[in-house]
Amino acid sequence: MRFSDPGFLIILLLLPLLIWYLRRRQSGSVRFSDLSNIREVAPSFWARCLPLLSLARFLMLALIIFALARPQLSQSREQITSEGIDILLILDISGSMRAEDFKPNNRLQAAKGVIHDFLRDRKNDRIGLVVFAGESFTQCPLTLDYRVLADLLRNVEIGMVADGTAIGDALANATNRLRDSTAKSKIAILLTDGENNTGTLEPITAAQAARALGIKVYAIGMGKEGGARIPYDDPIFGRQYSRVRTYVDEKTLKEIAAITDGRYFRATHPQKLAEIYNEINQLETTKIEVTEYIRYKEVAAYLLFPATLLLMVEMVLANTRLRKLP
Protein backbone atom coordinates (compact mmCIF):
# COMPACT_ATOMS: atom_id res chain seq x y z
CA MET A 1 0.00 0.00 0.00
CA ARG A 2 1.07 3.57 -0.65
CA PHE A 3 -0.40 7.07 -0.13
CA SER A 4 -0.75 9.31 -3.17
CA ASP A 5 -1.02 12.51 -1.04
CA PRO A 6 0.84 11.67 2.19
CA GLY A 7 0.97 15.33 3.26
CA PHE A 8 -2.51 15.04 4.75
CA LEU A 9 -1.19 12.54 7.29
CA ILE A 10 0.45 15.45 9.14
CA ILE A 11 -3.03 16.43 10.34
CA LEU A 12 -3.04 13.27 12.43
CA LEU A 13 -0.46 14.92 14.71
CA LEU A 14 -2.90 17.77 15.34
CA LEU A 15 -5.89 15.53 15.88
CA PRO A 16 -5.52 15.05 19.67
CA LEU A 17 -5.15 18.82 20.10
CA LEU A 18 -8.25 19.42 17.99
CA ILE A 19 -10.32 16.92 20.00
CA TRP A 20 -9.19 18.54 23.26
CA TYR A 21 -10.11 21.99 22.00
CA LEU A 22 -13.58 20.91 20.86
CA ARG A 23 -14.31 19.20 24.16
CA ARG A 24 -13.24 22.26 26.13
CA ARG A 25 -15.33 24.57 23.98
CA GLN A 26 -18.43 22.45 24.36
CA SER A 27 -18.07 21.92 28.11
CA GLY A 28 -20.43 23.76 30.46
CA SER A 29 -21.33 23.75 34.15
CA VAL A 30 -24.43 24.04 36.29
CA ARG A 31 -24.21 25.15 39.91
CA PHE A 32 -26.04 23.27 42.64
CA SER A 33 -26.30 24.23 46.27
CA ASP A 34 -25.70 20.67 47.49
CA LEU A 35 -24.25 17.73 45.40
CA SER A 36 -24.04 15.21 48.20
CA ASN A 37 -27.21 13.38 47.13
CA ILE A 38 -26.26 13.39 43.46
CA ARG A 39 -22.90 11.75 44.12
CA GLU A 40 -24.66 8.81 45.76
CA VAL A 41 -26.60 8.06 42.55
CA ALA A 42 -24.90 5.44 40.32
CA PRO A 43 -24.36 6.58 36.70
CA SER A 44 -26.70 4.98 34.15
CA PHE A 45 -25.60 2.84 31.21
CA TRP A 46 -25.91 5.72 28.76
CA ALA A 47 -23.95 7.98 31.08
CA ARG A 48 -21.09 5.50 31.05
CA CYS A 49 -21.26 5.45 27.23
CA LEU A 50 -20.78 9.21 27.02
CA PRO A 51 -16.96 9.00 26.37
CA LEU A 52 -17.72 6.92 23.30
CA LEU A 53 -18.84 10.07 21.50
CA SER A 54 -15.32 11.47 21.71
CA LEU A 55 -13.91 8.16 20.49
CA ALA A 56 -16.35 8.11 17.57
CA ARG A 57 -15.34 11.65 16.59
CA PHE A 58 -11.66 10.73 16.79
CA LEU A 59 -12.06 7.65 14.60
CA MET A 60 -14.25 9.53 12.12
CA LEU A 61 -11.69 12.32 11.70
CA ALA A 62 -8.83 9.82 11.44
CA LEU A 63 -10.61 7.89 8.67
CA ILE A 64 -11.33 11.12 6.77
CA ILE A 65 -7.67 12.15 7.02
CA PHE A 66 -6.52 8.76 5.74
CA ALA A 67 -9.03 9.04 2.89
CA LEU A 68 -7.67 12.50 1.96
CA ALA A 69 -4.16 10.96 1.78
CA ARG A 70 -5.54 8.65 -0.95
CA PRO A 71 -4.31 5.18 0.05
CA GLN A 72 -3.69 2.89 -2.92
CA LEU A 73 -3.15 -0.84 -3.21
CA SER A 74 -0.57 -1.99 -5.75
CA GLN A 75 -1.48 -4.69 -8.23
CA SER A 76 1.70 -5.91 -9.93
CA ARG A 77 1.94 -8.09 -12.99
CA GLU A 78 5.03 -9.66 -14.51
CA GLN A 79 5.58 -10.30 -18.18
CA ILE A 80 8.28 -12.93 -18.76
CA THR A 81 10.09 -13.07 -22.07
CA SER A 82 12.43 -16.01 -22.56
CA GLU A 83 14.85 -17.04 -25.24
CA GLY A 84 14.66 -20.81 -25.11
CA ILE A 85 17.29 -23.27 -26.27
CA ASP A 86 16.60 -26.23 -28.55
CA ILE A 87 18.40 -29.31 -27.27
CA LEU A 88 18.66 -32.76 -28.91
CA LEU A 89 19.78 -35.54 -26.59
CA ILE A 90 21.60 -38.30 -28.52
CA LEU A 91 21.77 -41.55 -26.54
CA ASP A 92 23.74 -44.68 -27.42
CA ILE A 93 21.70 -47.87 -26.86
CA SER A 94 24.14 -50.34 -28.41
CA GLY A 95 24.85 -53.66 -26.73
CA SER A 96 27.99 -52.30 -25.06
CA MET A 97 25.79 -50.07 -22.91
CA ARG A 98 25.04 -53.24 -20.90
CA ALA A 99 28.51 -52.97 -19.34
CA GLU A 100 28.21 -52.84 -15.55
CA ASP A 101 31.06 -50.46 -14.72
CA PHE A 102 28.60 -47.80 -13.48
CA LYS A 103 27.37 -49.82 -10.52
CA PRO A 104 24.83 -50.40 -9.17
CA ASN A 105 23.45 -49.88 -12.71
CA ASN A 106 24.71 -50.62 -16.17
CA ARG A 107 25.74 -47.76 -18.45
CA LEU A 108 22.33 -47.23 -20.05
CA GLN A 109 20.46 -47.17 -16.76
CA ALA A 110 22.97 -44.72 -15.28
CA ALA A 111 22.69 -42.46 -18.35
CA LYS A 112 18.88 -42.50 -18.26
CA GLY A 113 18.87 -41.51 -14.58
CA VAL A 114 21.23 -38.57 -15.11
CA ILE A 115 19.34 -37.37 -18.20
CA HIS A 116 16.09 -37.51 -16.23
CA ASP A 117 17.63 -35.19 -13.62
CA PHE A 118 18.88 -32.93 -16.40
CA LEU A 119 15.32 -32.56 -17.73
CA ARG A 120 14.09 -31.58 -14.28
CA ASP A 121 16.45 -28.58 -14.20
CA ARG A 122 15.46 -27.17 -17.62
CA LYS A 123 12.72 -24.62 -18.22
CA ASN A 124 11.38 -22.95 -21.37
CA ASP A 125 13.61 -25.08 -23.60
CA ARG A 126 12.47 -27.48 -26.31
CA ILE A 127 14.19 -30.83 -25.84
CA GLY A 128 14.10 -33.94 -28.01
CA LEU A 129 15.63 -37.42 -27.88
CA VAL A 130 17.47 -39.40 -30.57
CA VAL A 131 18.59 -42.96 -29.81
CA PHE A 132 20.96 -45.05 -31.86
CA ALA A 133 22.81 -48.31 -32.15
CA GLY A 134 23.36 -49.79 -35.63
CA GLU A 135 20.60 -47.40 -36.79
CA SER A 136 19.26 -44.12 -35.50
CA PHE A 137 15.72 -42.89 -34.93
CA THR A 138 13.94 -40.06 -33.12
CA GLN A 139 12.41 -41.30 -29.87
CA CYS A 140 10.88 -37.87 -29.11
CA PRO A 141 10.81 -34.71 -31.27
CA LEU A 142 11.52 -31.31 -29.78
CA THR A 143 8.96 -30.61 -27.10
CA LEU A 144 8.23 -28.52 -24.02
CA ASP A 145 6.32 -31.40 -22.42
CA TYR A 146 9.09 -32.83 -20.28
CA ARG A 147 6.74 -35.36 -18.70
CA VAL A 148 6.09 -37.03 -22.05
CA LEU A 149 9.81 -36.91 -22.85
CA ALA A 150 10.65 -38.51 -19.49
CA ASP A 151 8.15 -41.31 -20.15
CA LEU A 152 9.64 -42.00 -23.58
CA LEU A 153 13.14 -41.96 -22.09
CA ARG A 154 12.02 -44.49 -19.49
CA ASN A 155 10.93 -46.87 -22.27
CA VAL A 156 14.30 -46.80 -24.05
CA GLU A 157 15.95 -50.22 -23.95
CA ILE A 158 18.89 -51.99 -25.55
CA GLY A 159 17.80 -54.06 -28.53
CA MET A 160 15.24 -51.60 -29.92
CA VAL A 161 17.29 -51.48 -33.16
CA ALA A 162 20.02 -53.61 -34.74
CA ASP A 163 23.26 -53.57 -32.80
CA GLY A 164 26.24 -51.44 -33.72
CA THR A 165 27.41 -47.86 -33.14
CA ALA A 166 26.37 -45.43 -35.89
CA ILE A 167 27.56 -42.18 -34.38
CA GLY A 168 27.58 -40.33 -37.70
CA ASP A 169 23.99 -41.28 -38.56
CA ALA A 170 22.79 -40.33 -35.06
CA LEU A 171 24.42 -36.91 -35.25
CA ALA A 172 22.99 -36.36 -38.73
CA ASN A 173 19.52 -37.29 -37.48
CA ALA A 174 19.77 -34.76 -34.65
CA THR A 175 21.10 -32.13 -37.05
CA ASN A 176 18.15 -32.68 -39.34
CA ARG A 177 15.76 -32.24 -36.40
CA LEU A 178 17.41 -28.95 -35.47
CA ARG A 179 17.74 -27.67 -39.04
CA ASP A 180 14.51 -25.66 -39.05
CA SER A 181 14.87 -24.42 -35.47
CA THR A 182 14.60 -20.65 -34.93
CA ALA A 183 16.06 -20.79 -31.39
CA LYS A 184 18.97 -18.51 -30.55
CA SER A 185 20.98 -21.55 -29.48
CA LYS A 186 20.87 -25.09 -30.89
CA ILE A 187 22.56 -27.81 -28.89
CA ALA A 188 23.20 -31.54 -29.35
CA ILE A 189 24.42 -33.65 -26.41
CA LEU A 190 25.95 -36.86 -27.74
CA LEU A 191 26.56 -39.71 -25.28
CA THR A 192 28.29 -42.89 -26.44
CA ASP A 193 30.57 -45.58 -25.05
CA GLY A 194 32.10 -46.86 -28.27
CA GLU A 195 33.40 -46.03 -31.70
CA ASN A 196 31.66 -45.57 -35.02
CA ASN A 197 31.54 -48.96 -36.74
CA THR A 198 28.46 -48.84 -38.96
CA GLY A 199 26.08 -46.43 -40.66
CA THR A 200 26.17 -44.46 -43.89
CA LEU A 201 27.76 -41.22 -42.70
CA GLU A 202 31.11 -40.56 -41.08
CA PRO A 203 30.99 -38.71 -37.72
CA ILE A 204 33.31 -35.93 -38.91
CA THR A 205 31.13 -35.27 -41.96
CA ALA A 206 28.05 -35.12 -39.72
CA ALA A 207 29.86 -32.70 -37.40
CA GLN A 208 30.70 -30.40 -40.31
CA ALA A 209 27.03 -30.38 -41.31
CA ALA A 210 26.06 -29.51 -37.75
CA ARG A 211 28.53 -26.62 -37.70
CA ALA A 212 27.11 -25.28 -40.98
CA LEU A 213 23.68 -25.07 -39.32
CA GLY A 214 24.99 -23.42 -36.16
CA ILE A 215 24.59 -26.49 -33.94
CA LYS A 216 26.97 -26.92 -31.01
CA VAL A 217 27.78 -30.50 -29.97
CA TYR A 218 28.71 -31.56 -26.46
CA ALA A 219 30.26 -35.03 -26.76
CA ILE A 220 30.41 -37.39 -23.77
CA GLY A 221 32.52 -40.53 -23.76
CA MET A 222 31.13 -43.03 -21.25
CA GLY A 223 33.07 -45.89 -19.68
CA LYS A 224 35.93 -46.61 -17.33
CA GLU A 225 39.54 -46.38 -18.42
CA GLY A 226 40.61 -49.71 -19.85
CA GLY A 227 37.13 -50.55 -21.08
CA ALA A 228 34.67 -53.02 -19.62
CA ARG A 229 33.38 -56.51 -20.41
CA ILE A 230 29.79 -56.95 -21.60
CA PRO A 231 27.54 -59.33 -19.67
CA TYR A 232 25.28 -61.87 -21.33
CA ASP A 233 22.97 -64.60 -20.05
CA ASP A 234 24.01 -68.16 -20.86
CA PRO A 235 21.09 -70.66 -20.80
CA ILE A 236 23.24 -73.16 -18.87
CA PHE A 237 25.78 -71.20 -16.83
CA GLY A 238 23.70 -68.07 -16.22
CA ARG A 239 25.24 -64.60 -16.22
CA GLN A 240 28.55 -64.58 -18.09
CA TYR A 241 30.84 -61.80 -19.32
CA SER A 242 32.25 -61.40 -22.81
CA ARG A 243 36.01 -61.26 -23.20
CA VAL A 244 35.63 -58.40 -25.69
CA ARG A 245 36.14 -55.01 -24.06
CA THR A 246 34.58 -51.80 -25.36
CA TYR A 247 36.57 -48.59 -25.73
CA VAL A 248 35.56 -44.97 -26.30
CA ASP A 249 36.86 -43.34 -29.49
CA GLU A 250 37.93 -40.17 -27.70
CA LYS A 251 39.82 -38.83 -30.70
CA THR A 252 36.72 -38.71 -32.89
CA LEU A 253 34.52 -37.30 -30.11
CA LYS A 254 37.03 -34.55 -29.37
CA GLU A 255 37.17 -33.66 -33.05
CA ILE A 256 33.35 -33.51 -33.27
CA ALA A 257 33.27 -31.13 -30.30
CA ALA A 258 36.07 -28.96 -31.72
CA ILE A 259 34.45 -28.65 -35.15
CA THR A 260 31.13 -27.47 -33.67
CA ASP A 261 32.65 -25.18 -30.99
CA GLY A 262 31.40 -27.55 -28.30
CA ARG A 263 33.25 -29.53 -25.62
CA TYR A 264 34.26 -33.10 -24.96
CA PHE A 265 33.78 -34.79 -21.59
CA ARG A 266 34.79 -38.18 -20.23
CA ALA A 267 32.55 -39.94 -17.70
CA THR A 268 34.19 -42.83 -15.86
CA HIS A 269 31.71 -43.21 -12.97
CA PRO A 270 28.10 -42.18 -12.16
CA GLN A 271 29.02 -39.08 -10.15
CA LYS A 272 31.24 -37.77 -12.95
CA LEU A 273 28.44 -38.28 -15.47
CA ALA A 274 26.05 -36.29 -13.28
CA GLU A 275 28.64 -33.51 -12.93
CA ILE A 276 29.03 -33.34 -16.72
CA TYR A 277 25.32 -32.86 -17.36
CA ASN A 278 25.19 -30.32 -14.54
CA GLU A 279 28.09 -28.40 -16.14
CA ILE A 280 26.33 -28.40 -19.51
CA ASN A 281 23.20 -27.21 -17.74
CA GLN A 282 25.17 -24.27 -16.36
CA LEU A 283 26.86 -23.50 -19.69
CA GLU A 284 23.60 -23.42 -21.63
CA THR A 285 21.33 -21.19 -19.57
CA THR A 286 18.09 -19.78 -20.89
CA LYS A 287 17.90 -15.98 -21.11
CA ILE A 288 14.85 -14.68 -19.26
CA GLU A 289 13.75 -11.04 -19.17
CA VAL A 290 11.15 -9.94 -16.64
CA THR A 291 9.16 -6.73 -17.12
CA GLU A 292 7.03 -5.64 -14.17
CA TYR A 293 3.86 -3.59 -14.50
CA ILE A 294 2.29 -1.99 -11.41
CA ARG A 295 -1.29 -0.69 -11.22
CA TYR A 296 -2.75 1.09 -8.20
CA LYS A 297 -6.29 0.75 -6.88
CA GLU A 298 -7.87 3.62 -4.92
CA VAL A 299 -9.23 2.52 -1.53
CA ALA A 300 -10.23 5.91 -0.09
CA ALA A 301 -13.91 5.11 -0.65
CA TYR A 302 -13.61 2.12 1.69
CA LEU A 303 -12.53 4.52 4.46
CA LEU A 304 -15.19 7.17 3.82
CA PHE A 305 -18.02 4.68 4.26
CA PRO A 306 -17.25 3.83 7.93
CA ALA A 307 -16.41 7.52 8.58
CA THR A 308 -19.88 8.52 7.34
CA LEU A 309 -21.48 5.78 9.43
CA LEU A 310 -19.65 6.96 12.56
CA LEU A 311 -20.75 10.54 11.87
CA MET A 312 -24.40 9.51 11.60
CA VAL A 313 -24.26 7.42 14.79
CA GLU A 314 -22.53 10.25 16.65
CA MET A 315 -25.11 12.83 15.53
CA VAL A 316 -28.05 10.58 16.47
CA LEU A 317 -26.72 9.67 19.91
CA ALA A 318 -25.53 13.19 20.67
CA ASN A 319 -29.07 14.51 20.13
CA THR A 320 -30.95 11.64 21.80
CA ARG A 321 -29.63 9.30 24.46
CA LEU A 322 -26.29 11.04 24.99
CA ARG A 323 -27.59 14.56 24.76
CA LYS A 324 -26.06 16.93 27.33
CA LEU A 325 -27.54 20.05 28.88
CA PRO A 326 -26.50 23.28 27.17
| Most confident among 8-12, 41-45, 213-217 (mean pLDDT) | 213-217
Q: What is the mean pLDDT of residues 205-227?
A: 93
Predicted local confidence at residue 20, as pLDDT: 72
269 vs 40, higher pLDDT = 269
Instruction: Compute the mean pLDDT over every residue in the chain, rounded to the nearest whole number.
Output: 83
- What band does 312 get if pLDDT is binned at 50, 70 and 90? confident
Which comes out higher in pLDDT, residue 131 or 316?
131
Instruction: Name the nearest CA neighbour of 142 among 170, 183, 108.
Output: 183
pLDDT of residue 228: 77
Q: Is the confidence at residue 89, as pLDDT, over 60?
A: yes
Confidence class for position 286, pLDDT limits 50, 70, 90: low
* Mean of pLDDT values over 210-230: 90
- pLDDT confidence bin for 284, thresholds 50/70/90: confident
For 295-306, write each residue's pLDDT tens digit: 777 877 777 888
Closest CA to 96 of 159, 190, 177, 144: 159
User: pLDDT-based confidence at 118, cuts 50/70/90?
Assistant: very high
Mean pLDDT in residue range 48-69? 76
Furthest C-alpha separation in the chain: 127
Helices and strands, counts by H and E, the chain: 11, 11
Q: What is the b/e burial string over 166-182, where b = at least 16 CB atoms within 10 angstroms of the residue's CB?
A: bbbbbbbbbbebbeebe
Rounded to an integer, what is the distance from CA 33 to the centroid of its chain?
83
Q: Can you give the length of the chain in residues?
A: 326
pTM for the model? 0.64
Domains and CATH numbers, the chain: 2-76+299-318 (no CATH), 85-285 (3.40.50.410)
Model confidence pLDDT, tens digit, residues 148-186: 999 999 999 999 999 999 999 999 999 999 998 888 899
Q: How many CB atoms lie within 10 A of CB 227?
A: 17
Label residue 25 by pLDDT band (50, 70, 90): low
Confidence at residue 314, expressed as pLDDT on a 0 to 100 scale: 74
SS3 134: coil
Q: Which residue has the higher pLDDT, 119 or 307?
A: 119
pLDDT tens-place string over residues 224-271? 887 777 777 777 777 777 766 678 999 999 999 999 999 999 999 999
Distance, CA of 255 to CA of 257 (rounded, Å): 5
The answer to whether residues 239 and 233 touch, using CB atoms and an 8 Å cutoff, is yes
